[in-house]
A and B are shown apart, each in its own frame.
Chain A
């Protein structure tokens, strides 16, 4: 037998990442990962340099959400690692598969407060699905294989591999394993045939059923199966924020978004249903409102791959720990065709009575909802829409016609401002065949604006739309509705600020920054739209462009997101204006 070749731990890592299928590596260098960077010029995958480690993790995240593949990133020890925390937490909450490699000081210096030392496994434990501290180069290939396995099996999530510098420099002959077998981790499907029979019976007997689809439907690739079940038994479908795109909203059975800012029809239907078929959801408090009143007339069936999510927030009549797709494939043949015409007529009436709607507040001022409608129109249902966090995110959820999985990328569970710009860039690397449009608020855009240069230098034809309402709109809305209109810390313009936050009244600008100049300074094309009549044209032009383009839209600052079912309230507490 030929003697196995000795390589450094760093080289073994790069080889293993390639074996695991890495196509793009996002990251940022530093002292503790220089040995790994030294191997990158010969790596069979592309390296993309971000401008802040948070940005690099969000890029890997956007790549993973858009493609369904594992997002991979590489950062240095200490501050590099601590800068990843927000990105990891974001991916962890939304079940996004990532592998994040962090450098660490040499083993012998751990615990000595060495330069750029941080307890990375300690810090990331609570924001990752799992993490590893690598003790020897011989372990590296196996740990990489295990990390990819853990990231993608069971409920997906981020896995951190912390590699001390001496491990990167040590030599090894270890090779990438053919198969992974973990002693204690066997995310299993426990669906029994009795459960399937029970599920089919419940569906066949239901008079007012509702399917309630979440991110788990998208993760398991079950969107087609959901549509098949819905059509066969004529069951209306509501979705969570993470589930948008799992059911085509142009379908008459679509109830669209449910929850705090969901459609009236979705929330009313859940309130009146006798069978809630919850698929790949976790019953977040943003969706249920007052728990005791939630779906109070219904039997609840909950199918999810995470045993810990079943029964966590709501009591269920039937809980099935299994992959959504597996369950639907098995159960569909036992479900009888039905029409539920009276129930569907009731839902149609609710849709007519309470459509998703807004009124202009001033004839010459663009309403933020119009911006989303203009993007929807210009992209004709073909784009990947990425959002930041705030009011614009909710309007993007409400006013875009979501039609396919992995086309709406948003930070749902963590609600991370600064997600939009880098996640859109990651998505563009993953889906070069699709137009990617990012919608950001003026607040969140400033949190990761530096990443815009990455889009420019890689000539990514991404359209960035900044919905500029001169305020931290979602905070302002809560202050208006629940805190006596005391707008502390939420107004970005000179006008409307509290006295003790007052800016110079003779400031040349009403507010800063000038997003057009800022984008241009980063090398992107940029334009500002103020006139409602010019909105659609400007968005159409930006979407058609094959260059990185930013459109700053000045919108009505007083607009609020409605409908709204305030936190902890029952559905009767929904407010519409």
Chain B
């Protein structure tokens, strides 16, 4: 999952909370800057049921500080 978010305190916790609150374990997570210093990019690898992941994506998009979310299955391009 690729998540572009506003670079503000609390955003990471908010996003991680959507996974941990469902008992989902994030396999790997990296956060880094983008060319625009006010936007961060989060790469999240997570194992989970398709429907639930779809639901999480919609809820991520509902977050006030989330700009864009894209996702793909492992192995997909």
* A130 contacts across to B, CB distance below 8 A: 63-64
The reply to whether A312 and B10 contact each other, CB–CB distance below 8 Å, is no
Surface stretch bound by B, among A180-188, A218-226, A539-547: A180-188
Contact yes or no, B67 A184, CB < 8 A: yes
Please name the residue on chain A nearest to B60 by beta carbon.
A308
**With A and B bound together, what is the CA distance between A467 and B58 in angstroms?**
42
Q: Which of A46-54, A120-128, A260-268, A356-364 contacts B (4 or more CB under 8 A)?
A: A120-128
Closest partner residue, chain A, to B38 (CB atom): A183
Knowing A122-B13, A126-B17, A183-B67, the reply to whether A308 touches B6 (Cβ < 8 A) is no
A 125-149 binary contact with B (CB < 8 Å = 1; else 0) = 1100111010000000000000000
- Asked if B41 is at the interface of the complex by the 8 Å CB criterion, the answer is no
Chain B residues contacting A409 (CB-CB under 8 Å) are: none
Minimum distance in angstroms from A125 CB to a CB of chain B? 6
A150–B65 CA distance with the chains assembled, in angstroms = 11
Given A121-B10, A307-B58; A184-B17 close (CB under 8 Å):
no
How far apart are the CA atoms of A167 and B31 in the complex, in Å? 30
Residue B75 CB within 8 A of the other chain: no
A306 interfacial by beta-carbon distance below 8 Å: yes
A154 at the interface (CB under 8 A from B): yes
Please indicate the chain A residues that have their CB under 8 angstroms from the CB of B10 in the complex.
121, 125, 131, 133
Asked if residues B61 and A307 are in contact (CB atoms below 8 Å), the reply is yes
**A126 CA to B16 CA, complexed, in Å:** 11
Instruction: Tell me which residues from 2 to 35 in chain B have a Cβ below 8 Å from any Cβ of chain A.
Output: 5-6, 9-10, 13-14, 17, 21
Q: Using A133-B9, A183-B6, A184-B67 as known contacts, say yes or no to A125 and B61 having CB atoms under 8 A apart.
A: no
Establish whether residues B58 and A185, one from each chain, have CB atoms under 8 Å apart when the complex forms. Answer: no
A216 to B77, CA, bound (A): 38
Q: Evaluate whether A182 and B21 lie within 8 angstroms (CB atoms) in the complex, with A125-B14, A133-B10, A308-B58 already known.
A: no
Within 8 A of B (CB), among A305-320: 306-308, 311-312
> How distant is the Cα of A133 from the Cα of B9 in the complex, in angstroms?
9
Tell me the smallest distance from the CB of B43 to a CB of chain A, in Å: 18
B53 → chain A, closest Cβ, in Å?
A: 13
In the complex the two chains form, what is the Cα distance from A133 to B63 in whole Å?
A: 16
Q: What's the Cα separation between A183 and B63 when bound, in Å?
A: 12
Contact of B62 with A306 in the complex, beta carbons under 8 Å: yes
Candidates B62, B63, B66, B67; contact of A307 at CB < 8 Å: B62
> Are A308 and B55 CB-contacts (below 8 A) given A126-B21, A183-B6?
yes
Find the A residue at minimum CB distance from B10: A121
Please give, as numbers and ranges, the residues of chain B lying within 8 Å of A311 by CB-CB distance: 54
B61, chain A: closest CB distance, angstroms: 7
User: How far apart are the CA atoms of A185 and B55 in the complex, in Å?
Assistant: 18
Known contacts A121-B10, A184-B5, A184-B6; is A154 also within 8 Å of B62 by CB? yes
Min Cβ gap B21→A in Å is: 6
Rounded to whole Å, the gap between the CB of A180 and the closest CB of chain B is: 12
Q: In this complex, what residue of B is CB-closest to A135?
A: B9
Q: Which residues of A contact B14 (CB under 8 A)?
A: 125
Complex Cα gap A311–B54 (Å): 10
Q: Which residues 80-133 of A sit at the B interface, judged by CB distance below 8 A?
A: 121-122, 125-126, 129-131, 133
Residue in chain B with minimal CB distance to A310: B58
Q: How far is the CA of A259 from the CA of B49 in the complex (A)?
A: 28
Instruction: With both chains docked as a complex, state the minimum distance between the C-beta of A138 and any C-beta of chain B, in angstroms.
Output: 16
Cα A129 to Cα B6 in complex, Å, equals 17
The answer for the CA separation of A312 and B54 in the assembled complex, in Å, is 9
The chain B residue sitting closest to A154, CB to CB, is B62
What's the least CB distance linking B23 to chain A, in Å? Answer: 14
List residues 152-188 of chain A with CB under 8 A from any CB of chain B: 154-155, 182-185
Residues of B within 8 A of A125 (CB): 10, 13-14, 17
Contact with B65, one of A122, A184, A308, A312 (Cβ below 8 angstroms) = A184
> Which residues in B have their C-beta under 8 angstroms from that of A184?
5-6, 63-67
A150-B63 Cα distance, complex, nearest whole Å: 10
Chain A 186-228 per-residue mask, 1 if CB under 8 angstroms from chain B, else 0: 0000000000000000000000000000000000000000000
C-alpha gap A306/B66 in the complex (Å): 15
Instruction: Output the nearest chain A residue to B57 by Cβ-Cβ distance.
Output: A308
Residue of A nearest to B18 (CB): A126
**B58 engages A150 (CB within 8 Å):** no
8 Å CB interface, B36-56 against A: 54-55
Q: Inside 8 A of A121's CB, which chain B residues have their CB?
A: 10
Residues in chain B near residue A154, CB distance under 8 A = 62
A206 CB to closest chain B CB (Å) equals 28
- B40 CB to closest chain A CB (Å) equals 12
Whether B59 pairs with A308 at a CB distance below 8 angstroms is yes
Closest B residue by C-beta to A150: B64
The interface centre, meaning the residue of A121, A185, A307 with most chain B CB atoms within 10 A of its CB, is A185
Known: A133-B9, A133-B10, A307-B58. A185 touches B64 (CB 8 A): yes
Residues of B within 8 A of A312 (CB): 55
Which residues of A have CB within 8 Å of B64? 129-130, 150, 182, 184-185
Name 11 A/B residue pairs within 8 A (Cβ), A-sorted: A126-B17, A129-B64, A133-B10, A154-B62, A183-B67, A184-B6, A184-B63, A184-B66, A308-B55, A308-B58, A308-B62
Residues of A near any B CB (own CB < 8 A)? 121-122, 125-126, 129-131, 133, 150, 154-155, 182-185, 306-308, 311-312
Task: Given A131-B10, A185-B64, output 19 extra A-B contacts at Cβ < 8 Å.
Answer: A125-B10, A125-B13, A126-B17, A129-B64, A130-B63, A130-B64, A133-B9, A133-B10, A154-B62, A183-B6, A184-B5, A184-B6, A184-B65, A185-B65, A306-B62, A307-B61, A308-B55, A308-B62, A312-B55
What are the nearest 3 A-B pairs in CB distance? A308-B58, A184-B67, A185-B64
